[in-house]
Amino acid sequence: MVDCPGHASLLKTIIGGAQIIDMMLLVIDITKGIQTQTAECLVIAETLMDNLIVVLNKVDMLDAAKREEKIEKAKVNLQKVFAKTRFPEVVMVPISAAPGADPEVTERFGIDVLIETIQRHTRIPQRQYDDPFLFAVDHCFPIKGQGTVLTGTVIRGAVKVADAIEFPGLGQEKKVKSMQMFKKPVQEARQGDRVGMCVAGFDPSAMERGLVAAPGTVPTLTGVLVAIEKIKFYKATVEGKCKWPITVGHSTVMSRPTFFYLPDHEPGTPAPPFSWETDYLYSDELFPNGKSHNRGTQFALLEFDFPITVPLDSHIIGSRLDADINANLCRLAFHGKVIESIDCKDTEKLKKLKIYKPKARDGKVDRVHDAQTLLVKDLFKKETDMSLFIGMKIVDDEGNVGKIEGTFGKSGKVKCHFPTASFPTGKNATGGPKSVVMEFKKYIFDDKTKMVQ
C-alpha cells in the first residue's frame, strides 16, 4: 500500500508514487467534491493504471436527516465526470474514516464495505519474474553495524540475497546483504513485493529516492523517443518551443520536446508503431486526441537538460508544476511511454530521424520558352546552389505538372519543362500560366538532405 499525499503542492511526489501502484483508491471529500488535486490524481490513474475505486470520505459531516439523499446526489454528479474517463462504471464507497463532526456518529462508517469492495475488485497483475531486476527506492537510511537499508517496491524481475545490484544514476555496484518483508527475513523478492534491502558500503546520503537495477540494465540517457498523448483536462496549448518538466518515476528533469506524427494515417485503423524508415510531419504543438484528426499516434523527441536514468519501458508525464495550485486548472499536460533512447548530441543518429517541415517556393513565369517549357524567375536567388533542385517537381497555376530542367543565365532564372503542356508561343501569343509553385520536405535534423519531394 502506498499513501500518496493529497495536497496539490506535492504533485511530483504523487506522480512518483503512483508508478508503483496496481490499484488506486481515489479519496474525495464529499463536502467539497472534486478539487484540483483530485482531478490530477484522476489523470494519473487514467495514465498509469486500470483499476480504480472512489472513496467518498467525511459523510459524517453531512446533515444526518439528509445524509443518504446527499450521498446519492454526490454519486450522480460524480458519475457524470467519470463517464468521460476510462472508468465510466467506477465503484463509489461512502465512508467516515475519522468521525467527529456528528456526535451521533461515534464509529467509523463504511470501512467494512470498503474492504469488501477492494477484495472484490482486486485483480492479480501479470508478473514477469524473469525480466531484469528493477527496484524503486522510496527511503534510504543507515543502520549502525549493518549497512544501508533501501526500502521500496520491486518493479520488475526478482532479486536474491548476495545478488549484485547497481545504482545506475551513481555508477555504483553493491551486493545484497540481507532482505526483510514486513519485519520477516526473506531470501528473495519478486515483482510487486515491498521489501527492505540491506547493502554494505553505500552512503545513504547519496540517494533519497531513485532506481536500483540488475547491473547494466538501466541506461543513463540524454534523450528519449516517446509515443505521446495530450491529457484532455489540460486546457492550454502544449507547445514544443519551450521547455517542459518531465517526470519519470521519482526523477523530474527539464526537457525540450520535438513533436511529430504520421500525417496520412487512415482514421479508424490501428496506428502503426514508430519506424526509423517512415517520414513524419513536424508539429509546433501537441494535438488533442480524438476523432477530429487523423494523426494516429503522436510522437516526441525529448531532449533532457541533464542525463537521467530511464528504463526503456518507462511512463513519462509532462506537467506545469510551477502553475498556481489555487487556479483550479489541471497542471498535467501530456503523458507517454518511452520507445527507445537517443543521444541528442549524436548528430548522425538524429539525421536518421525523418522529421520534416513542408515548404513551398513560388515563382513567376518570365516568358514561354517553347510549347512545353517556361522560363521562371524569383524562384531562387542567383547565388543558390541549383544542383539541389534540378529534377524537382513543379506545378503551374493552370495545374500542369513539370520539373526543373536547369538554369537559364546567371540571374537565378530556371527552365521548367512540362511534358504534357501546350503553351501559346509566337510573337503575338497571349495567355498561359503566370506563376509556379515548388513544394518539398525540409528535414529538421539533416543539414545535407535539406529538401526532398
Give per-residue pLDDT as tens, 123-141. 877 787 889 999 989 899 9
Cβ neighbours of residue 314 closer than 8 Å, sequence gap 6 or more? 248, 249, 337, 338
In this predicted model, which residue has the larger pLDDT, 148 or 447? 148
Q: Tell me, what's the pLDDT at 372?
A: 95
Cβ neighbours of residue 5 closer than 8 Å, sequence gap 6 or more? 13, 14
Backbone region of residue 391 per phi and psi (left: phi > 0; alpha: psi in -120 to 50; beta: other values): left
Distance CA 411, CA 251 (A): 57
Q: Tell me, what's the pLDDT at 46?
A: 84
What does the mean pLDDT of the chain come to?
86
DSSP for residue 78: H
Confidence of residue 292 (pLDDT cuts 50, 70, 90): very low
pLDDT digits (tens, 9 = 90+) for 186-243: 999 999 899 999 999 999 999 888 889 999 998 888 999 999 988 888 888 999 988 9
- Supply the pTM of this predicted model: 0.79
In this predicted structure, the answer to whether residue 68 has a pLDDT above a threshold of 80 is: yes
Task: Give all domains of the chain, ordered by start, each with its CATH number.
Answer: 23-121 (3.40.50.300), 134-213 (2.40.30.10), 220-351 (2.40.30.10), 355-443 (2.40.10.190)
CA 405 vs. chain centroid, Å, equals 46
In this predicted structure, the answer to whether residue 100 has a pLDDT above a threshold of 90 is: no
In this predicted structure, the answer to whether residue 60 has a pLDDT above a threshold of 90 is: no
Strand intervals (E) in 75-146: 91-94, 134-143
DSSP for residue 201: S
